[in-house]
Structure 1
């Protein structure tokens, strides 16, 4: 609105600067036109006198010209004239016609010399004729000024409204981003500069989202990397002597040593809980982003298996565990987020390292058939005595952080699949995650015939 007022004032000043001189010019034109008509009348009478038309001819010329008056210098002014004797005598001595102001208007005095005699022809022009149509012209110019100012205000208001709306939208979006809403975007509009600012804002918001996602992925990756040595530390701590200090016949040194073992175990448990909490927080944030952008919830299961096995291979080597990866050479897309599939596989492998003795072999196999992808993890450990109870326990979590069967179950159920437990051909537990194939029509879940249960071969070098 302020811009409209400024534009109106500027247009008004420009209109005044242009129209006022134009009005004065029109007024001068009207005056010159009236004097030109008076000159024509006096010239008609003067021509008759010079031509020697006689008294009757001059009278006829006077009548035809509209009543000019003929004066003789040195004598009293002729009746009907408005010029004084002095003005007549001055005009007679001049070689050109003169215009003299009188009461009610002006008179044009034209000297005439013929046959050795002098005359002065007078034509009166009233003020009404001098200013004829001047008022009309001023009103027209005033109306034109009003139209110009009003039109400029309307046009500028229309143009400025779009620019102001674009600027307001940009401000509101910037405030929303400042408050933490990184999903806000704007539709660039308005002048070119504001439109470019809108595009730049959207790119900035996309970069912020990308940076936040990269940061969370980095946190999740670091957390997974921390969990591997933590698992090794916890297993080593569990292999130490008991930390019971209630036995009376213990020496003071033995009591201190067992208390140190207890502190180590408690510290490892606390640190593991913190890492698990960090993983859970990151996983929930990534899950919300995946839910908000389903088109990004697609990953290559083979790539995830290869990546995570590279991660776990270090701990497997430390614990002298032989392992084998089957079927992870070809691309197998599944409709789940990469981070979620990696978390589910890490949860199952973590259980293998946690609940089986060191040196226990395991196998990770991947296959696809009939619209489903089977991700199987077998081990040569003691197995799971009651698979149904284990699944129920995973469902209730019992205060778990989600690094177990419940993670895998939620992941598979999100695609219409399932998780099953069985006895592995290696002798231990077999966990199969059945996930919908992203490139095939899902069918009834079935784990039979999907993954061959071959014997464990040599660990790849």
Structure 2
């Protein structure tokens, strides 16, 4: 925008300068020609009274002039600069009329003088150099003045454009900071009134977003905290079971849910950060598969696990990756019959990161499964979206006879 404003001012100034300088340049050339012709005419008019007088006096006066003058006497002789009679001289002598004729060398001035002995003709030539004397210097002066004015105009235009574009650039920077979750970023109202109004509106929007997010975090935290009461009751019920192994398993599951609720509360109250988190995908996936394996054995589901032998770092927080895998495996248990086999595969990607795949041999996903909040079963429909949030690419494949969900995890 700054460049465009400067170019617009430059184009306008060039047109204005041309509109003024071109006529002035032509006028200066005309003035120079008129001045040269006027000087030559003054010389001729000085000699005219002497043309019919004493030839000696005429010779002295003609020789003393600054311009070349020739006087053609009635007897055919000449006084002054030797020259032959031109058509203009002959025409002036015959017609008794003063003439100014353009020639290849410049302008020829002839004035007839009628005397007692006949008609004399006074002739002088104004060369092209005399006609254009000083014109080139004047044009160069005008050109320099025009260039100086143009540069000054561009400097002023650039400063004015900067006063307009600087607030716009600041607004852009603040908007990018807000987009990067830096909610404390604020714009300084500056520039024209319209831009100051936009800056105030952007600041108001940022404050409103910050307030809404704070309120949303508190609501999520409050909602999650309400789950602690039924979890406490579940833990007490688990402790009352007579089978110690069964009690331990149910208590462990209740503790896992309690940890998940605590993580939700902490995440809801955590300030948004742009720093990427990371974890060892191999360790997280192995831990969650081990957790779900117990329930798989109770429901007769064969589990196939394929994990790397070494740590596999990814740019996903451990809690987020665990929640994503729990959501996918929870769908397997919730939407497939007992004894349905499923598999979990984690492989390293050649370009970095990892590929996590969860497959089962159940009835597959309904057409609405890819839509957030939509579910083909009796659920919230948010499980797949939780998994989608941690992946760079998210793919669902398979229909009746099996389903495959693939998550590409970013590299750390």
TM-score (norm 1): 0.45
Give the TM-score taking structure 2 as reference length. Answer: 0.50
